Structure 1
Amino acid sequence: MFTQCPDCRKTYPLTKAQLRGKKTFIYCKDCSKKFNALELLSDKPTGLLVEAKAEFIAKPESTPSSSSKKKAKNRQPANKKPVIEAANNNSANETTPIPPTMSPTSERLPWEAEKTPVNVLWFVGVVIGSLILLGQIIYFESSRVSQNAAYRPQLEKLCNWLGCQLADYENLAELTVLQGSFAPNADNTISFKAVINNQAAFRQHLPNIKLTLLDYNEQLFAQRIFAPKEYLPATASTSFSIAPDETVTASLTIAAPKTSIGGYNFDLTY
């Protein structure tokens, strides 16, 4: 950093340590002027000279007396560097106290970054709002997102870490019927069987089976939806889910209707 004498325009280099001191008055070694180093402070000596010329007011030339020359000579410091001197509040007119705005402890120096105050209430409000938004997304969209095969592996890992459980995966496109049969029995009942395979990479919830009976004119005359607990054996697991690449046999026994059965079809539904 550099400062400049307001009278003779002599430029002096300053260190950060000198600027951090409590007092910033120095003596000019050319004209013996005592001035505040912060008044013409800059980081470049060239800028100081331009600024000094703009503010400089010419003074009438006068020849200093021998006594003033002697005093000026006595007040010159021995070294070439400016000397930081403690200001005396009880001294004569040449000593001026540092204004509060120019105090090194309160003024932001040119090389220091400006500090922006942080509004704590605003920050807390943003955090609370973000948590509420995240909770709403999880509550309303968690089921749909968990059915996405691209996100489900990461969600399963997250749930294992948090101790939660995802909803069963449900994708009819990845369930395949390997075999189906519909045959009458001697006791006037009809046996229906279907072999279902899970081709998904995740455990799936078992689907419902919608069975439709047709007459000889291929007109629908009976239809019913059977839940997994109705077509699985009594000894089957109550989880009603099917593991990846697992095969499950659905078996139903229904009473023969009065209308002659000309055909049937069935669909897997959720």
Structure 2
Amino acid sequence: MYTQCPECLSVFSVDARTLAQAHGFVMCGHCGAGFDSIATLADQLPAEPFTELPSHEPAVEPPHVNAVVYRPRNEAEAEAAENEAPAPPQDIFADLVVTPRFARDKRMDRPRRWPWLVACLLLFLVLAAQLAWALRDPLIADPTTGPIVQEACALVHCPLPPVRDVGKLQLLARDVQTHPTVPGALLISATVRNDAAFVQPWPVVIIRLSDGNGKVIAMRRLNPYEYLDDTEALHRGLAPGAATALVFEVEDPGHQAVGFDIGFE
């Protein structure tokens, strides 16, 4: 801000602090005259050359200031404020209803797992049944699991498929002779025992006749219904540990047949 001495027309730069010290009355540093600096106070200097700064007319009525920044309280107001009871703080959560976590219905939060457990159990049973069906022959033939499977099937009346293990069929005795009533035929007898721990179906019997050099000159393959007349025994099978005698009628190949062999399928 700038002001001008009315006596020597010198222009000075002033600030708010300088103006506030004597309410705008200052002394000229050039001629020593005292003057009211607010009368010619300007924010900017006019363009040169100039002689005098414009003068401000004195205000008829002092301006009003309304923007109060701070007002210190007197002793009476301070004492009244101390004696006044403080108002209770307003509880903004007074109408809010909160349910504790432990008081909630746990059945609503708990996921329903029993349908998945039932589905997994059913799938497991189906898989176990498929595996048991695929491995039925080894399970029935096994001496440990075979009796368990047989007892379980006996309870539910489910028929077990026959398991064949010709390696467990033991040929105890055999004999061949000329047929007493049929000319040109041989009568072959054999005693077979089932050494397996399970019931076996009657085997397919293979009879081979050979000459003196061991060459097979005749062979006959007999199915169970061809050498068994008992239908019930045919369906019942050969019980574990049971021995039975079998009789076969075959055609006599002549004097060249000096040996015979019996096998099972």
Could you say which TM-score interval applies, normalised by the shorter chain?
A: 0.5 to 0.7
Is contact 1:146-1:167 (8 Å) kept?
no
Over 3 Å counting, the alpha-carbon distance change for 1:66 and 1:151 in structure 2 is: farther
Among 181, 187, 203, the alignment partner of 2:199 is: 203
Is contact 1:232-1:249 (8 Å) kept?
no
Q: CA deviation at 1:153?
A: 1.0
Rg (Cα) greater in structure: 2
* Structure 1 runs (4+) greater than 6 angstroms displaced: none
Q: CA deviation at 1:262?
A: 2.8
Q: Which amino acid aligns with 1:180?
A: R
Once residues 231 and 149 of structure 2 are traced to their aligned partners in structure 1, the CA distance between those partners, rounded to angstroms, is: 32
Among 90, 95, 99, the alignment partner of 1:93 is: 90
Among 149, 170, 186, the alignment partner of 1:155 is: 149
Alignment deviations for residues 105-159 of structure 1 (CA, whole Å, 9 cap, x no partner): xx358xx9x9552367655653453344234324433234222222111111211
Is contact 2:140-2:149 (8 Å) kept?
yes
Over 3 Å counting, the alpha-carbon distance change for 1:93 and 1:236 in structure 2 is: closer
Q: Which amino acid aligns with 1:183?
A: Q
Gaps of 5+ in 1: 1-63, 73-91
Q: What does 1:150-229 correspond to in 2, within 5 Å?
A: 150-185=144-179, 187-229=183-225
TM-score (norm 2): 0.55
Over 3 Å counting, the alpha-carbon distance change for 1:68 and 1:203 in structure 2 is: same
Q: Which residue of structure 2 aligns with residue 16 of structure 1?
A: none
TM-score (norm 1): 0.55
Alignment deviations for residues 236-262 of structure 1 (CA, whole Å, 9 cap, x no partner): 733251223322111011121257103
Is contact 2:202-2:238 (8 Å) kept?
yes
Is contact 2:141-2:197 (8 Å) kept?
no
Q: Provide the aligned C-alpha RMSD in A.
A: 3.6
